[in-house]
Amino acid sequence: MSESARRHEEASTEWHGLSRTDLYDELAMGESGLTAEEAARRLEEYGPNEIRDESSVSPLSIFVAQFQDVLIYLLIFAAALSLAVGLLPGQEPNYVDAGLILLILFGNGVFGFVQDYRAEKSMQRLRELSTPDATVVRDGEKMTVAAREVVPGDLVVIEQGDAMPADARLVEATNLETMEAPLTGESASVPKTTEPLAPETPLAERSNMVYMNTNAVRGRGRAVVVETGMDTEVGGIATQIQAAERDETPFQHEVDELGRRIGYGIVGLIGLIVAVQFAFTQAGAISVLLTAITLAVAAVPEGLPAVVTLTLALGSQRMVDRNALVRRLPVVESLGSVDVILTDKTGTLTESQMTVTRLWVGDETYDVTGSGLDPDGEFRRDGETVAPEQLDPVLRCGALCNNAEPAPDAEDREYFGDPTEVALVVSAAKAGIDGSGERVTEIPFSSDRQRMTVVVREDDGHTAYTKGAPEVILDRCESVLVDGEVRELTDDRRAAIRETIESFAGDALRVLGFARKQGVDPDADEERLETGLTFLGLQGMIDPPRSEVGGAVADCRRAGIRVVMVTGDNLETAKAIGAEIGFDPAGAMTGSEIAACSDAELREAVEDVEVFARATPEHKVRVLEALQANGHTVAMTGDGVNDAPGVRNADVGIAMGMRGTDVTKEASDMVLRDDNFATIRDAVAEGRGIFDNIRKFVNLLLSANAGEVLTVFVGVLIGSALFPRLFAAQSEALILTPVMLLWINLVTDGLPALALGVDPKADDVLDREPRDNGESVIDRRVALSVVTIGVTVTVAGLALFFESLRTFESLVRAQTLLFTFFVVAEMGIIQVIRRRFGASLLSNPWLIAAVAASLLLQLVVLYTPLAGLFGVFPLEVADWERIGLAVAVVLAVNALLSRVYDRLHAD
């Protein structure tokens, strides 16, 4: 390592604490910047100033990963078994079964690949955040270079509107202010200085530093680059994102566990059937093995992955219609179990735009309506709308003493300039004041002066307009404007104005004072222009809450979801905004207090605190991890680069689509296209509804398969005992043939199960508590339903089968009745299951169509030449009566049991 690189590494965490001389010495550079030769050498030593992707995954790896799942393995095994049947003497491979299963697997894999491949683009997006070029001083001369060629030690020239190409320490700053909201969450611009700061100064308060991907909104300066590429603050965030592993969602874990259970059950089933049939029937070895394999294949719910994927996809499409773009399908379901939402303030709960909300003019206070950049708004006093003419002087002063200007149409913003000055332009526009005037002189704002003055040519001469810190402006005034008249500024009036300033500040408003001096000499010096002023009034501004946020937060709480605000903004502003929305500001913590807490202390604190302020990205991640360690399922929202690590690590990461940076969007699971917090509420409701639908068709599939397997297994044993001659004459001693079982699984289970995926959500979906993190899809209620349905279907089906077999002594006819009974019974069972979730019979037209299609297909099998392929008998009216009676018994018993369960478990 070179000497310059060693010095750079040793000082990298305390650049803001170094004097200018020490800074130059540490970086081995001077007032004339680096030489071109030295810059080239350092570029080779440190590497390009860009965000590197060190965790890229090949598309092939992503695709292969889609098939690394227990249930997928099970289905591949089932397909192999279908083909392996052909190895038995006198048998043909079951190409239909195998082909269908493999087709489902491939389709599921492609769908998952598309979703995961998009998620892996986050690091590529980070590169695009780098500025394209920068102005640096090399060999004593200014030149423009590509931002990726900027190196530590480069002297960067900063002008208003420039984006920072790297992290740099300021050595010159003239009225320089930067907008750091994407990094720190601070909604106001940050004045910059050059003085050394204490080493422990937090990131948001390092006024002598500028950072990559922030912008200069006013003034100019020069800064020495101290960190580039992955060593910048943004690079540190990128490193955290790359290091973060995507944990399985609760539902992904549940599907894996379900697959394991089914796999173990089928392996055990094969062994049990082989053993029992050898011991209790006269079937030969080949027949027994064929029976076991085909029954096992039929028992696999091969439609489960496809139905899960399609249900999640359909749910994600409905969420797109509600302005929520889902990037990972399983997260749709995870939303239903979220019990904490960790939200940023700026741009998420608020408008991300300073807005004047209150005025003080002539002993009266006025409220200003409207927000953001919208010029529509009213001025109200005591709730009554007033004419803006009486407020003209203070609004005109704010518009004239202002350097904000409209952005060109090609820009993706409306104004260039400091957000505070933009807010003054907008407040004036609400009164029809455009701020036009011939400016003759400007005395710029500085942090030392804390004021700005412009001299404007007017019809009756020249007028000096001044704005700045209210106390500073007040001290320079001798009179005050009241009701259009200039009056003496007495001690009592000064005291009243100071009380108003304190009142505004107590409500977390940023307060500016305004004054003027008419009939001035434009060539007068600063002191003469800015003394003897007439006080015009005050304007108080804040980044206000979005209008719909309060109701959305209340709805989330009604649904059992805590909402916690974590922001980089200052404590008082965070508490004031939080209180206005409905947060409890009591006990609010700052980032420094978070840092001082042990993990155990923070885990205890996060259960009570609703507002965290002055939080860095690391603080946000600690709060998130503390909540997760306490067993919470956490959704985190964000828009700035500083939010990306938390968004990536959250159970559900939610980015703002309009205000959000690309890196945050690509690190997220879901993007709100309208930046509306209320959309999260809608997404949670949709997620809960989707989980209900998943539970419905899992219940349906497992109940149907349980009934089929139990019926065939018990039926073979009973049949071999009661009708040994008849059963021994069959090549396959089955109650239902393999093709019948496959037909039931793929047609009656498939179409209705898919239709269940679009079942409307229950009306009370947001009145429930969130689903527990560890709660299984197959809860006690579903498990009991599977057992009761399986048993009642088996009892009724076998009664129907053996009664027919005894009456007609025809196995084919008895099989046909049982085959059709299963189709009809499962159609009725769907509504028994749906009733538990409050779904009415006619609420899902797609389900009605699916049931009708399934029944129609069954009729086609029974009464067309397909009957020969399925080995079925055309049923007569009396047969349908028998089936109807058996189905009615099954539905009545299960409906009764469901009601009994509801009463026993009612609150």
User: What single DSSP character describes residue 876?
Assistant: P
Calculate the dihedral angle through the C-alpha atoms of 106, 112, 115, 119, rounding to the nearest 10 degrees. Answer: -120
Cα 156 from chain centroid? 37
- Residue at 478: amino acid letter: E
Which structure tokens are listed for 359?
A: 């005025």
Q: Identify the H or E element spanning 857.
A: helix 845-863
* Interatomic CA distance for residues 817 and 708, integer angstroms: 14
* Interatomic CA distance for residues 473 and 402, integer angstroms: 16
As beta bridge partners, residue 511 has: 540
Q: Identify the H or E element spanning 454.
A: strand 451-458
User: What single DSSP character describes residue 85?
Assistant: G
Which structure tokens are listed for 690?
A: 């989707």
As beta bridge partners, residue 590 has: 613
Which structure tokens are listed for 282?
A: 């006269």
Identify whether 139 is a catalytic site residue: no
Q: Beta strand pairing status for 477-482 and 533-542?
A: parallel
- Residue at 870: amino acid letter: F
Q: Identify the H or E element spanning 461.
A: strand 461-468
Residue with tokens 């085959």: 819
Nearest of 294, 358, 232 to residue 86 by alpha carbon: 294
Residues 2/45, Cβ–Cβ less than 8 Å: yes
Buried (b) or exposed (e) across 323-348, using 16+ Cβ within 10 A? Answer: bbebbbbbbbbbbbbbbbbbbbbbbb
Return all residues near 68 (Cβ < 8 A) that are at least 6 apart: none
As beta bridge partners, residue 366 has: 359
Question: Per the residue annotation, which of 69, 97, 344, 749 is the catalytic one?
Answer: 344
Which structure tokens are listed for 445?
A: 């704002």
As beta bridge partners, residue 134 has: 145
Residues 311/777, Cβ–Cβ less than 8 Å: no
CA dihedral sign of residues 453, 455, 458, 463:
positive
Residues 431/392, Cβ–Cβ less than 8 Å: yes
Burial of 226 (C-beta count, 10 Å sphere; 0-12/13-18/19+): buried
446 phi and psi, to 5 degrees? -145, 160
* Interatomic CA distance for residues 444 and 626, integer angstroms: 47
Nearest of 561, 565, 564, 562 to residue 574 by alpha carbon: 565
Region label for 383, one of left (φ > 0), alpha (ψ between -120 and 50) or beta (otherwise): left
Q: Identify the H or E element spanning 578.
A: helix 571-581
CA dihedral sign of residues 575, 580, 581, 582:
positive
Residues 773/127, Cβ–Cβ less than 8 Å: no
- Residue at 444: amino acid letter: P
HEC secondary structure over 818-830: HHHHHHHHHHHHH
* Interatomic CA distance for residues 43 and 22, integer angstroms: 22
Which structure tokens are listed for 856?
A: 């129609």
Nearest of 581, 598, 618 to residue 341 by alpha carbon: 581
Helix intervals (H) in 745-844: 750-756, 780-808, 811-835
- Residue at 43: amino acid letter: L
3-state DSSP assignment of residue 878: helix
Nearest of 517, 520, 78 to residue 303 by alpha carbon: 78
* Active site residues per annotation: 344
